[in-house]
A and B are shown apart, each in its own frame.
Chain A
Amino acid sequence: MQEQDLYNAEEGSAEDQRGVWGGSADGEPDRELRVPGKAERHGRQSRTKIAEEKRLKEKKRVTPPPSTFQRFSVDTNESLHFEPYIPSDEDEPRSPSFRGATVFSDEVFEEEGETEEGPPTEDAGGSRVDLKEGLGGHSERDPPDVFCMDCKVPTQASQKLFGPHKDHRVIQISRAADEVKEDLQKGMHKLEEQIGLMENFASHLEEIFITVEENFGRQEQNLEQHYNDVLQALSQRNEQGAAQLQDDKKLKLEALYTQLLECGKTLDVSKELIEEAQQIYRDEDKTAFLQAVTPALRRIEELSQDESEIKLSSSMDFENTPVDFSDVKQMMDSVNILPAPSAPVINPQVPNSASSTSARVCWSLFSNDTVDFYDLHYHPVLDDATFTGLQAPDALEIRVKETYCTVRELLPNAQYEFWVTATNTTGVSPASEKAVYMTVPSPPIIKPRECASCPEAALIRWESGNANPVDSYTMELSEIGAEGGANAVTESIVAVPTCECLVQLQPGRHYSICVRAVNIGGPSERSEPIIIQTTGTSFHLLEDTAHPCLSISSDGLTMFYTDEDLPLSGMVFSDNTFARCVAVLGELIPVRGKHYWEVEVEDRTEFRIGVAYEDTQRNGFLGGNSTSWCMRHVITPSRHKYEFLHNGWTPEIRITVHPKRVGVLLDYDAGKLSFFNAHLAQHLYTFQCRFLHHVHPCFALDNPGALALHNSIAAPAYTMFN
């Protein structure tokens, strides 16, 4: 309907628009205002413009452009909806219907046209000029001095009282002119807006052209394919039919041939018989004849009775089997229909595209399908143990327009199955293959209490941080500069299979070390770092070796042997704990070189401090066997007594000043274990031993008391002299 109006409106609008353009925009004087016919010639240009616009508008509706179009069409309709103009020869002013301000302007021009009719000799310019001036005052009467707003005609004041304008609103011409000018302005503005919209629209046209081409291309391809399919199906049918016919022919011919042979045989038999019969017939000997004739007669009778089949064994005609073209028909029917898309192709997981709670899933179109949107489905992959197969976990769905989606709120270190379907107006594609994506694990948690260091190495231990196993771990370390800032990662150790790693370091530095867990999804975030100083040796006490009477402080560096008498039943022993000697082992890194640590003791503390093999007898006393070496302090009634025990043997040594801080130096390479009074820098004793295995620091208290371990102290210079 709208088209209809538009079309009609063309004729009217052409003039009017031209009028506007001519007057204000183009500045071109319009000369052909007289009759619609002439107007049409000029209007044709604008008409074609508008027709194009109309067609474009149609196309536009398929892919709606920005909102300007909407406004444009609505407004255009309104503004272009005119009743066809039929100029009359009357001088009488007509009373057209009002329709908003724009219409008002029409009246103005109608007025113009009307006035034109009056003096045919006037040219358009002149009449327009007159219009501008406010009134086409070319009546044969007196010059008008008032203006009837109702009729839109200038008239005389006198007329108001008596004439047709009796009940109309009549005002001064000048005032009327002003009012009309206002309306004119409004009309012009409106049209200017429309021009703007049109220009916007025009600028979109290029894109539209390209889209049209694309769509055309797709449709063409589609069509070709469809028809190809149809033709293929048809030719298939053809071949099938032909083959069938061939077979039929063969069968028929064979049957007939067989028949022919049989006939031949029968003929032969019959002919023989006749010859025989004739022979018998010619036999002069009647007796012999009579004897021979009976069987012959019988046989002739048989044969004659035997009406050989003279009927054809198979018909000469071929049947017409109706060919089933239903599927071809279906194909023809669907030719014009946009095919549903084929299954998309889901991509395998790109490394490092996942985080611990999200994964970026990508897929692509199988062919050049038109797709409106995709539905991505996914559900977690459960262990076989929990997944019975009948109760598939509910799949979640995400609808996206792009060919990728970052799926969030996933669990870390978990596998998810993804598949995707594509949908367009025709329908939904089959589901793509299922792809398994994995989120990266949660970061591990370093266990500082279980880490150890020495000048040339560090042993880092951590917890996985994930309930399920991960593929491996990556350890990253960076040296912290003197100014305290952490540098970029200086070293990465990858493919660490277990939750611990021994790494070689430079002595006397600070390092920041962190760990990541790795699975096929990629590496996790970094764990909280641990700061390692390669100064001196740092280790912790192995609590599970401690005698039950020993309690270890929370920082793992102080041990107490309390006064309380724990009943034997109250103690929990294990294979690994010391049972008689109230002792505990420390965890030392299995790295050769020198290790140094200090132990703080009190005046009255009876202690044993030294090293032992990991498998030292838990039932023994430190120093009392060949698997441990220690310095022992005993208090006798008269004095402090010091022993340096190994294998139950000690040299006799007297020390006059009781060491409150014992320095221990373990030198694997030189095979020495030295003890010092750290406060006095005094060497006390050195064991010369060849260590067969790595040893652990060991500590024991022979009486209630305490020992405090001090780590991360660089071996003092004086220790090298021993």
Chain B
Amino acid sequence: MALTQVSSNKCCGGFQKVFEHDSTELKCRMKFAIYLPPKAESEKCPVLYWLSGLTCTEQNFITKAGSQQAASEHGLIIVAPDTSPRGCNIEGEEESWDFGTGAGFYVNATEDPWKQNYRMYSYVTEELPRLISAHFPADPEKMSISGHSMGGHGALICALSNPGKYKAVSAFAPICNPMQCAWGQKAFAGYLGPDKSKWETYDATTLVGSYSGPQLDILIDQGRDDQFLSAGQLLPDNLIAACTEKKIPVVFRLQQGYDHSYFFVFSFINDHIKHHAKYLNA
């Protein structure tokens, strides 16, 4: 798998790069962003995978979230992939901003015409880590995952479905219970078909109920003034209730005045990176 560097900018003593490659899972050319901290010049570093939300590419996070400073300080590599396969020319993929292009929902689609390319779950959990380990000074044992909105949902389901694989997990305004919200229902219906049991494997709230594995420590930040929260798309209470029931440690912070934007992410990204660093650097 050859990597082509698309861009490289020195940032906070390290380098913010973008690479392109041919993805075997997604069967198209995919870009991803990777931040290499100064420490990566001399030793292997842990990797934090950041999953972005609806309509985002690999660019949003690296230009808007301000994560490089904390990543540099804590010596973490941050990998931010795209949110869906691109250029596959699947009919209907451009119709809505919350389904199809830029809305992969981090599932492995089982329905046509999506199932060939829309395999973001496997891309994120398998192909990408192999790629990163092979081409960068990454410590394969130290991975963690985080994300925003749809990416938050992705981070949660990846962590809950792969006990022990991710040393830490956190999320910004995640879609906590997609089966119960409009976004999730639309996406799951499209990618997975009508069988709700398949939906459950990609729903954080249901996954919590059946989780068994090493203890998690989940940090969730949610803007209080997030329009999607009030619209009932995010449903954090459901997740919290489930975690309380299952005694899965979660700290959920409802941040007064903050909305769903990257300004919100920017405001708390340091806390999240510290949270990850605590476990990755332990």
Q: B residues 242-261 with Cβ under 8 Å of A?
A: 243-244, 247-256
Interface residue? A572 (CB, 8 A): no
Q: B residues 194-224 with Cβ under 8 Å of A?
A: 215, 217, 219, 224
> Residues of B contacting A652 with CB < 8 Å?
224, 253-254, 256
> Residues of A contacting B274 with CB < 8 Å?
721-722
- State whether A655 and B250 are in contact (beta carbons under 8 Å apart), knowing that A639-B244, A717-B282, A718-B282 are contacts in the complex: yes
Residue of B with least CB distance to A651: B253
**Residue in B251, B255, B274 whose Cβ sees the most chain A Cβ within 10 Å:** B251
> Residues of B contacting A683 with CB < 8 Å?
219, 251, 275, 278
> Residues of A contacting B250 with CB < 8 Å?
654-657
Measured in the bound complex, the distance between the Cα atoms of B258 and A651 in whole Å is 13
Q: Tell me the dominant secondary structure on chain B's binding face.
A: mixed
Tell which of B244, B278, B282 touches A656, judged by Cβ atoms closer than 8 Å. B244
> Residues of A contacting B243 with CB < 8 Å?
656-657
Q: A residues 620-644 with Cβ under 8 Å of B?
A: 639
> Residues of A contacting B278 with CB < 8 Å?
683, 718, 721-722
A682 in contact with B251 (CB, 8 Å): yes
- State whether A653 and B254 are in contact (beta carbons under 8 Å apart), knowing that A677-B249, A721-B274 are contacts in the complex: yes
Residue of A with least CB distance to B277: A721
CB distance from A620 to the nearest CB of B (A): 24
Residue of A with least CB distance to B248: A656
> Residues of A contacting B251 with CB < 8 Å?
653-655, 682-685
Measured in the bound complex, the distance between the Cα atoms of B215 and A370 in whole Å is 95
B255 in contact with A680 (CB, 8 Å): no
Measured in the bound complex, the distance between the Cα atoms of B252 and A655 in whole Å is 6
Interface size on B, as a range, is: 20 to 34
Tell which of B217, B236, B240 touches A680, judged by Cβ atoms closer than 8 Å. B217
CB distance from B61 to the nearest CB of A (A): 22
B249 in contact with A657 (CB, 8 Å): yes
Measured in the bound complex, the distance between the Cα atoms of B240 and A361 in whole Å is 82
Measured in the bound complex, the distance between the Cα atoms of B224 and A653 in whole Å is 11
A653 in contact with B252 (CB, 8 Å): yes
CB distance from A677 to the nearest CB of B (A): 7
CB distance from B207 to the nearest CB of A (A): 15
CB distance from B173 to the nearest CB of A (A): 14
- State whether A651 and B277 are in contact (beta carbons under 8 Å apart), knowing that A656-B244, A682-B217, A718-B282 are contacts in the complex: no
Measured in the bound complex, the distance between the Cα atoms of B218 and A684 in whole Å is 11
Interface size on A, as a range, is: 10 to 19
Measured in the bound complex, the distance between the Cα atoms of B151 and A12 in whole Å is 140
Measured in the bound complex, the distance between the Cα atoms of B248 and A682 in whole Å is 11
B256 in contact with A656 (CB, 8 Å): no
Measured in the bound complex, the distance between the Cα atoms of B272 and A722 in whole Å is 10
B256 in contact with A651 (CB, 8 Å): yes
> Residues of B contacting A721 with CB < 8 Å?
274-275, 277-278
> Residues of B contacting A653 with CB < 8 Å?
251-254
Residue of B with least CB distance to A680: B249
B215 in contact with A680 (CB, 8 Å): yes
Measured in the bound complex, the distance between the Cα atoms of B236 and A656 in whole Å is 12
**Residue in A657, A684, A717, A718 whose Cβ sees the most chain B Cβ within 10 Å:** A657
Measured in the bound complex, the distance between the Cα atoms of B236 and A654 in whole Å is 10
> Residues of B contacting A717 with CB < 8 Å?
282
> Residues of A contacting B252 with CB < 8 Å?
653-656
Measured in the bound complex, the distance between the Cα atoms of B244 and A639 in whole Å is 9
Tell which of B247, B253, B277 touches A657, judged by Cβ atoms closer than 8 Å. B247
Q: A residues 517-542 with Cβ under 8 Å of B?
A: none
Measured in the bound complex, the distance between the Cα atoms of B74 and A721 in whole Å is 10
Measured in the bound complex, the distance between the Cα atoms of B251 and A118 in whole Å is 143
Q: A residues 672-691 with Cβ under 8 Å of B?
A: 677, 680-685
Residue of B with least CB distance to A719: B278
> Residues of A contacting B217 with CB < 8 Å?
680-682
Measured in the bound complex, the distance between the Cα atoms of B274 and A653 in whole Å is 18
Residue of B with least CB distance to A652: B254
Measured in the bound complex, the distance between the Cα atoms of B259 and A586 in whole Å is 40
Residue of B with least CB distance to A717: B282
Per-residue 0/1 for A439-453: is the Cβ within 8 Å of any B Cβ (1 yes, 0 no)? 000000000000000
> Residues of B contacting A639 with CB < 8 Å?
244
> Residues of B contacting A651 with CB < 8 Å?
253-256
> Residues of A contacting B224 with CB < 8 Å?
652
Residue of B with least CB distance to A639: B244
Measured in the bound complex, the distance between the Cα atoms of B217 and A657 in whole Å is 10
CB distance from B222 to the nearest CB of A (A): 9
Residue of B with least CB distance to A720: B278
Q: B residues 21-79 with Cβ under 8 Å of A?
A: none
Measured in the bound complex, the distance between the Cα atoms of B112 and A33 in whole Å is 163
CB distance from B34 to the nearest CB of A (A): 23
Per-residue 0/1 for A700-722: is the Cβ within 8 Å of any B Cβ (1 yes, 0 no)? 00000000000000000110011
CB distance from B57 to the nearest CB of A (A): 31
Measured in the bound complex, the distance between the Cα atoms of B219 and A722 in whole Å is 13
CB distance from B7 to the nearest CB of A (A): 31
Measured in the bound complex, the distance between the Cα atoms of B218 and A677 in whole Å is 13
A656 in contact with B247 (CB, 8 Å): yes
Per-residue 0/1 for B1-12: is the Cβ within 8 Å of any A Cβ (1 yes, 0 no)? 000000000000
Residue of A with least CB distance to B224: A652
Measured in the bound complex, the distance between the Cα atoms of B236 and A655 in whole Å is 12
> Residues of B contacting A677 with CB < 8 Å?
249
CB distance from A337 to the nearest CB of B (A): 99
Measured in the bound complex, the distance between the Cα atoms of B277 and A718 in whole Å is 10
A selection of 8 A-B contacts at a CB cut-off of 8 Å is A652-B224, A657-B247, A680-B249, A683-B275, A717-B282, A718-B282, A721-B275, A721-B278
A contact set with B: CB distance below 8 Å: 639, 651-657, 677, 680-685, 717-718, 721-722
B contact set with A: CB distance below 8 Å: 215, 217, 219, 224, 236, 240, 243-244, 247-256, 274-275, 277-278, 282
The 5 A-B residue pairs with the shortest CB-CB distance in the complex, in nearest-first order: A652-B254, A654-B252, A656-B243, A721-B278, A656-B250
Contacts A651-B256, A655-B249 known; 12 new A-B pairs at CB < 8 A: A651-B254, A653-B252, A654-B252, A655-B250, A656-B244, A656-B249, A656-B250, A656-B252, A680-B249, A683-B251, A684-B251, A718-B282
